[in-house]
């Protein structure tokens, strides 16, 4: 039986003038931080003060010994080395690595003695990238860093939302494995589901297992599902591959969030010694799910569709883009993955796109997605650059792809492989072909030939797409909104968010609008006094090209000039919500012509002004709460062509749509109603419900669903707010009542306490309406804290020259 000896824990780290304890898994930056050798790179401009770390060479070392029973073979296994490593054991070279995204295994059976020194020397990623560039020639990319020349997390070199903190380390677990006779090297269980076979359907298990041997004898493999044997497979002496296609009756299918149970089954493969057919020598276990994925990319009169079908049912995608949740990914834990992904699910999200400038995430990430019913769109790791197709990169790309397609294949949540992020589009759109190196190889062989061939061989159960965006062929411009996937960045970069309504793309895989992080997150990261939108620290934590200029132009189209940094902060948060809402609701009203949206982005990896809904400290921006409303299974939206009734449930939605025209003080001027019957998973647009001439507000309701439209972006009317704060177990209940029209009331809980949270974002109240905001914290809160300036604000207050605190009744 395979025996594992974990080598995680305390190692020693050495570099120039550095010799200190290190933690494995980990990275040099976190070790230096723990030892007080570098300042916090998230604070002010300290990012620049620690840049030297990424240009230095480092060595991790410790003594190891095999403490387990005697085996035919002992392997040293690294699940992740970042990135350019030379591994020595007892002074003898085991091997060299040049890829952060691969697993490495070394036979140390004859090399490991008692207290043998294991040394991992990590050379600077910059030095490696520069050396490769010298061999293959320059290549254009979107950022002035050499990430295309090394197989490493690209965004560690900086991005338009991230710092340049180029890591090195043993970033995933390392262990010794002792085994005899044979071991299970890999298992690829491709689990699909047929709903058209019998009343309960039928599971199909296409199982491939690769076996590594040290003894040439017959073996057997027993396959169990939920503890029950479903197959016993013989492996003759010398054979190294087991393959079987099995029908599995009575399984419950895995369904995406909102479409049924995300059912999982325990799959076990037990390797038995063929000598007696009973002695277990290795075991592989995972939870798998049976489901079928298809991607409708057929032509129609408008262009080319892009609609996912899971278990033969079309699924509206309500997605978010995921970047690494920590610039130091070795810091991630299963608990943190579970927290962040649960937050996504609670915001109505049903798909996570793992973006191509990051990493293939840890097994825990995909297991949590499996459990939550969150679909995963997995990019191969290419982003925003021309990538050389020659050696030494080419063979690394192939090995990396094969490694990770195999590793991730058991997860039912993974529904599609995507070749790259924006590379097929940007080469021409950004004029890269005319830049130095633009006439050299740039990556299409990967996306159009090599990667699809690997997926077809190893994982034909999932659709592959060449890139995002991609129109399906060179017959159309890659970012053509009428054909397959589209990235909407003209809006934000150059246009007001109202222009989201100019088109109905077939699938919007990226779009977004910036806002700063929560106030406490910003203040913890920036010590500027006074704190201004353009003070040095704030600008340092804004990585987008002309980001603050775009924020300012976006505000100018809708609001008067902000009278303070606090007002700027409030208004930029509001503009982010309004922009994203405009896009999602417009495109959702065109389902299934538009197959879905993937908002850029869910999360941040440090405190920064960005497109995220959850900031780098894990605090919710108001956008997070708004996503829950935009993704609601049943919702209304008022569009220029009418009131759209959105029904993403399995039941018909019948009811009376009531549309009221109101004056600016909320008085009803007229109303009209219309009976609707919206089909399951459908949309109905009720035309002709135009507001009365001169109406300032339009209110549409259907049951508990409501949508609002305002003739003006801003307001100066007195909302007549009364605020009552009551102490309750765990925090405060804050009741807000309006006698007028209170637009965009926002309570910023982090202004009360750094750990406080609130359950709503922007809330608009009509005359006579109330809402209760639930503020929670791990410490008692003073009800009077709600009356402090900017803790609770509405739009009229934010646009006023001098804010006035709200009256609070304790």
Q: Give the integer Cα–Cα distance in Å for 443 and 470.
A: 14
Q: Give the integer Cα–Cα distance in Å for 251 and 310.
A: 16
Which structure tokens are listed for 39? 């300042």
Q: Bridge-partner residues for 420, per DSSP? A: none
Which of 422, 510, 566, 585 is the catalytic position?
422
For the chain, residues classed under CATH 2.60.40.10 are: 181-288, 638-710
- Look at the alpha carbons of 726, 728, 731, 733 in this order and tell me if their dihedral is positive or negative: negative
Which tens digits make up the pLDDT trace of 726-768? 999 999 999 999 999 999 999 999 999 999 999 999 999 999 9
Per-residue HEC secondary structure of 295-349 comes to EECCEECCEECCEEEECCEEECEEEEEECCCCCCHHHCCHHHHHHHHHHHHHCCC
Q: Is 288 within 8 Å of 566 (Cβ atoms)?
A: no
Q: Is 321 within 8 Å of 598 (Cβ atoms)?
A: yes
**Fold observed for domain 181-288:** Immunoglobulin-like (2.60.40)
- Inter-axis angle of helices 393-408 and 451-458, to 10 degrees? 30
Q: Please tell me the predicted confidence (pLDDT) of residue 810.
A: 44
For the chain, residues classed under CATH 2.60.120.260 are: 3-177
Q: Is 182 exposed, middle or buried (0-12, 13-18, 19+ CB in 10 A)?
A: buried
Q: Give the integer Cα–Cα distance in Å for 4 and 10.
A: 18
Q: Is 521 within 8 Å of 619 (Cβ atoms)?
A: yes
Query: Distances from the Cα of 164 to the Cαs of 4, 51, 157, in angstroms?
Result: 36, 8, 5
The correct CATH number of 3-177 out of 3.40.190.10, 1.20.1070.10, 3.40.50.150, 2.60.120.260 is 2.60.120.260
Residue 555 burial (CB count, 10 A): 19
Query: Distances from the Cα of 202 to the Cαs of 205, 227, 293, 550, 660, in angstroms?
Result: 10, 18, 15, 53, 51
* Side-chain half-sphere exposure of 499, counting CA atoms within 13 A: 14
Question: What's the order of all strands across the beta sheet hosting 682-686?
Answer: 634-639, 642-647, 682-686
Q: Please tell me the predicted confidence (pLDDT) of residue 714.
A: 83
Instruction: Identify which of 240, 229, 219, 241 has the alpha carbon closest to the alpha carbon of residue 268.
Output: 229
Which structure tokens are listed for 38? 């570098």
Q: Return all residues near 169 (Cβ < 8 A) that are at least 6 apart.
A: 24, 25, 26, 27, 28, 30, 31, 58, 60, 82, 122, 330
Q: Give the integer Cα–Cα distance in Å for 357 and 364.
A: 20
Q: Is 128 a catalytic residue?
A: no
Which structure tokens are listed for 153? 């997390």
Cα 10 to its chain centre, rounded Å, is 31
Q: Does domain 317-623 have CATH number 3.20.20.80?
A: yes
**Fold observed for domain 638-710:** Immunoglobulin-like (2.60.40)
Q: Bridge-partner residues for 191, per DSSP? A: 205
Low-confidence ranges of the chain (pLDDT < 70): 275, 688-693, 802-810
Q: Give the integer Cα–Cα distance in Å for 96 and 566.
A: 52
CATH class, 721-809 region: mainly beta
H/E stretch holding 406 = helix 393-408
């Amino acid at each position: 039986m395979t025996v594992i000896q974990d080598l995680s824990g305390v190692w020693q780290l050495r570099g120039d003038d550095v010799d200190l304890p290190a933690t494995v898994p980990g990275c040099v930056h976190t070790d230096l931080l723990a030892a007080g050798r570098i300042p916090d790179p998230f604070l002010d401009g300290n990012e620049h003060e620690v840049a030297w770390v990424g240009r230095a060479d480092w060595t991790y070392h410790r003594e190891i010994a095999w403490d387990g029973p005697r085996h035919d073979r002992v392997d040293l296994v690294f699940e992740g080395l970042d990135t350019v490593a030379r591994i020595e054991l007892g002074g003898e070279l085991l091997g060299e690595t040049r890829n952060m995204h691969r697993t490495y295994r070394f036979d140390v059976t004859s090399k490991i003695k008692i207290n043998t020194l294991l040394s991992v020397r990590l050379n600077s990623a910059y030095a490696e990238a520069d050396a490769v560039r010298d061999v293959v020639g320059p290549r254009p990319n979107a950022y002035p860093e050499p990430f295309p020349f090394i197989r490493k997390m690209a965004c560690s070199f900086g991005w338009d939302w991230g710092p340049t903190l180029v890591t090195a380390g043993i970033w995933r677990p390392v262990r010794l494995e002792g085994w005899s006779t044979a071991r299970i090297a890999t298992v690829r269980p491709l689990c699909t589901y047929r709903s058209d076979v019998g009343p309960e359907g039928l599971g199909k298990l296409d199982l491939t297992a690769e076996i590594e041997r040290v003894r040439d004898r017959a073996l057997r493999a027993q396959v169990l599902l939920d503890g029950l044997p479903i197959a016993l497979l013989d492996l003759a002496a010398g054979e190294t591959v087991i393959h079987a296609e099995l029908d599995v009756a009575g399984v419950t299918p895995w369904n995406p969030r909102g479409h049924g149970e995300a059912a999982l089954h325990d799959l076990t493969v037990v390797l038995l010694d063929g000598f007696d057919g009973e002695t277990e020598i290795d075991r592989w276990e995972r939870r798998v799910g049976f489901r079928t994925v298809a991607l409708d990319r057929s032509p129609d009169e408008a262009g080319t569709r892009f609609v996912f079908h899971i278990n033969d049912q079309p699924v509206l995608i309500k997605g978010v883009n995921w970047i690494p949740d920590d610039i130091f990914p070795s810091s991630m834990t299963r608990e943190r993955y579970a927290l962040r992904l649960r937050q996504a699910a609670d915001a109505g999200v049903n798909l996570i796109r793992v973006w191509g400038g990051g990493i293939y995430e840890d097994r825990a990430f995909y297991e949590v997605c499996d459990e939550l019913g969150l679909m995963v769109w997995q990019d191969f790791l290419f982003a925003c650059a021309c990538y050389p197709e020659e050696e030494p990169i080419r063979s690394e790309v192939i090995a990396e792809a094969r490694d990770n397609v195999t590793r991730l294949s058991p997860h039912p949540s993974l529904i599609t492989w995507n070749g790259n992020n924006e590379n097929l589009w940007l080469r021409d759109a950004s004029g890269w072909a005319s830049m130095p190196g633009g006439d050299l190889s740039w990556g299409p062989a990967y996306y159009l030939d090599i990667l699809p061939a690997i997926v077809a061989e190893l994982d034909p159960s999932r659709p592959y797409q060449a890139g995002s965006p991609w129109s399906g062929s060179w017959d159309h411009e890659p970012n053509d909104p009428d054909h397959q996937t589209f990235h909407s960045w003209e809006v934000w970069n150059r246009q007001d968010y109202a222009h989201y309504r100019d088109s109905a793309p077939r699938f919007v895989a990226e779009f977004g609008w910036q806002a700063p992080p929560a106030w406490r997150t910003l203040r913890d990261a920036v010590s500027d006094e006074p704190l201004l939108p353009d003070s040095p620290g704030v600008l340092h934590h804004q990585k987008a090209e002309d980001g603050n200029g775009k924020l300012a132009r976006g505000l100018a189209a809708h609001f008067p000039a902000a009278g303070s940094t606090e007002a700027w902060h409030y208004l930029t948060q509001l503009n982010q919500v309004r922009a994203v809402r405009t896009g999602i609701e417009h495109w959702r009203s065109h389902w299934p012509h538009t197959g879905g949206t993937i908002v850029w982005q869910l999360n941040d990896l440090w405190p920064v002004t960005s497109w995220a809904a959850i900031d780098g400290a894990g605090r919710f921006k108001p956008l997070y709460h708004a996503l829950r409303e935009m993704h609601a299974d049943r919702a209304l939206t008022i569009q220029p062509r009418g009131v759209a009734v959105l029904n993403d449930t399995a039941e018909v939605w019948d009811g009376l749509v009531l549309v009221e025209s109101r004056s600016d003080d909320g008085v009803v001027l007229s109303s009209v109603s219309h009976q609707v019957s919206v089909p399951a998973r459908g949309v109905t647009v009720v035309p002709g419900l135009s507001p009365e001439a001169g109406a300032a507000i339009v209110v549409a309701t259907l049951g508990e669903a409501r949508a609002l439209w305002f003739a003006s972006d801003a307001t100066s009317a007195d909302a007549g707010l009364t605020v009552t704060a009551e102490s309750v177990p765990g925090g405060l209940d804050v009741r807000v009542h309006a006698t007028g029209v209170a637009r965009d009331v926002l309570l910023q809980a982090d202004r009360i306490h750094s750990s406080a949270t609130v359950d709503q974002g922007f809330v608009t109240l009509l005359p006579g309406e109330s809402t209760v905001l639930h503020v929670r914290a791990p410490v008692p809160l003073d009800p009077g804290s709600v009356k402090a300036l900017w803790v609770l604000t509405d739009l009229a207050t934010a646009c006023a020259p001098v804010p006035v605190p709200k009256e609070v009744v304790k």
